[in-house]
Amino acid sequence: MNGVLVVGASAAGLATAQALRARGYRGPVRLVGEEPHPPYDRPPLSKQVLSGAWGTERTVLRAPADLAALGIELLPGRRAVALDTGAREITLADGERLRYDDLVLATGLTPRRLPAFDGPAGVHTLRTLEDARRLRADLRTARRLAVIGAGVLGCEIAATARTLGLEVTLIDPAPLPMADRLGPPVARLLAGLHRDHGITLLTGTKAEAPVTDGGGRITGVLTSQGPVAADALVLAVGSVPATGWLHGSGLTLDDGVLCDARCRAAAHVWAVGDVARWWHEGQGRALRLENRSHATESALAVAGNILGADRPHRPVPYFWTDQHGVRIQVFGDPAAGDRLRVTEGDPATRTFAAVAETAGRPVGVVGWNSPHGVRGARALLTPP
């Protein structure tokens, strides 16, 4: 048996391997990771790791010895460069070929870059442990941080930097932070939260070019509203699925690895986590989710389907974010609603749960420091 080969030692890749073992699979399971580390959790990078509250060792999800005890072979520091679905094998950067009976793609995302900002020292993205270490080292000596992109990651980095005492400017062309995830009413509350904590919020603003000193280090950003001083800069302008190595494989690549309702991309090829774009039967459309909860949910679904469960993957989308001591939890798609109905608490007190509705139909749920309320409202999104 060649067994199951998982490419991507991510949370989703690890969860797939563990789920196979938990369900009694006895064949070989190999976990190939491009990074030299054992699988680790990414959400703490922008918060606990960046602030220094955690050492990087606390992000490890499974130590190599634990993986070995489960009969999972970890191959760290090995980059996949090609897939031959006919031969059922992948090629690694060093030329080694690995065969499989079933292949699980869990390669995740690659941060988007802004070409105008390539080159200067002090410009960062945040995806890996190394990224977090480099950014934290810069923040130890910086006084002013600019963050381009007011999505989940950009907002979390901005909030963390304020706890370190930096002056922070958050720049985004959209009118409100995270409006595409929260909807305007809650996004306005989030904007107020950031301002209350001393962050300069430049929404409706385009970042145009870096400003550097004579040594090529970032000293600011030129924006459509004027210059912004900065000793360090983070680009948090989204990510793209890490599928470049799959070109020519015969798989359909369209904003991720296109899959059927069971997260199957081709015969004996599956995709999980951020890289998977699968047909969601409940929503009647192809969907790709970038969040930690989906990493685990899709892994459980694929492990079951590899072992013959033959069940569609139909999760209720969910994510959470922690900013300035506030936990925001989101189910479904609140931004698709045209009305927000509060079901518990009061937005004025910044503790509430609310349902977003379109034509009276619930399409999303938001909880603001209200775990009980959001759990209760979530039931409205679950088909009977």
Asked: is 4-110+239-306 a CATH 1.10.1060.10 domain? The reply is: no
Q: Which fold has domain 325-381?
A: Enolase-like; domain 1 (3.30.390)
CA–CA separation, 321 and 327 (whole Å): 6
Inter-CA distances, 108 with 10, 95, 191, 242, 329, Å: 7, 22, 29, 6, 22
Indicate the residue type of 200. Answer: T
- Does the structure show a pLDDT above 70 at 383? no
Asked: is 113-235 a CATH 3.50.50.60 domain? The reply is: yes
Classify 353 as helix, strand or coil. Answer: strand
Q: Which residues are bridge partners to 83 per DSSP? A: 90
Region 350-363: what's the mean pLDDT? 95
- Does the structure show a pLDDT above 60 at 384? no
Q: What is the pLDDT of residues 169-185, one digit of tens each?
A: 999 999 999 999 999 99
Q: What is the pLDDT of residue 81?
A: 98
Q: What is the pLDDT of residue 301?
A: 98
CA–CA separation, 235 and 113 (whole Å): 7
Q: What is the pLDDT of residues 209-256, one digit of tens each?
A: 999 999 999 999 999 999 999 999 999 999 999 999 999 999 999 999
Percent with pLDDT over 70 in the chain:
99
Q: What is the pLDDT of residues 261-312, one digit of tens each?
A: 999 999 999 999 999 999 999 999 999 999 999 999 999 999 999 999 999 9
pLDDT category at 41 given cuts 50, 70, 90 is very high
Q: What is the pLDDT of residues 107-120, one digit of tens each?
A: 999 999 999 999 99
Inter-CA distances, 159 with 81, 217, 292, 324, Å: 37, 24, 20, 6
* Phi and psi based region of residue 325 (left: phi greater than 0; alpha: psi -120 to 50; beta: remaining): left
CA–CA separation, 117 and 280 (whole Å): 37
CA–CA separation, 340 and 95 (whole Å): 55
**Does residue 353 contact residue 341 with C-beta atoms inside 8 Å?**
no
Q: What is the pLDDT of residue 163?
A: 97
**Does residue 19 contact residue 299 with C-beta atoms inside 8 Å?**
yes
Q: Which of 129, 134, 165, 152 is nearest to 233 (CA)?
A: 134
* H or E element at residue 22: helix 11-22
pTM over 0.85: yes
Main-chain dihedrals φ then ψ at residue 382, nearest 5 degrees: -95, 120
Residue indicated by tokens 């209760």: 376
How distant is the alpha carbon of residue 84 from its chain centre?
Answer: 28
Q: What is the pLDDT of residue 31?
A: 98
Token pair of 47, please?
Answer: 């918060």
Region 354-369: what's the mean pLDDT? 95
CA–CA separation, 339 and 254 (whole Å): 32
Percent with pLDDT over 90 in the chain:
97
Token pair of 85, please?
Answer: 């679905």
Q: What is the pLDDT of residues 21-39, one digit of tens each?
A: 999 999 999 999 999 999 9
* H or E element at residue 366: strand 361-368
Region 306-328: what's the mean pLDDT? 97
Same fold, 113-235 and 325-381: no
Those residues with Cβ within 8 angstroms of residue 32's Cβ, 6 or more apart along the chain or in another chain: 5, 6, 7, 8, 9, 75, 78, 80, 90, 92, 98
- Does the structure show a pLDDT above 80 at 382? no
CA–CA separation, 144 and 217 (whole Å): 14
- Does the structure show a pLDDT above 60 at 203? yes
Region 72-86: what's the mean pLDDT? 98
Instruction: For the chain, give every domain's residue range.
Output: 4-110+239-306, 113-235, 325-381
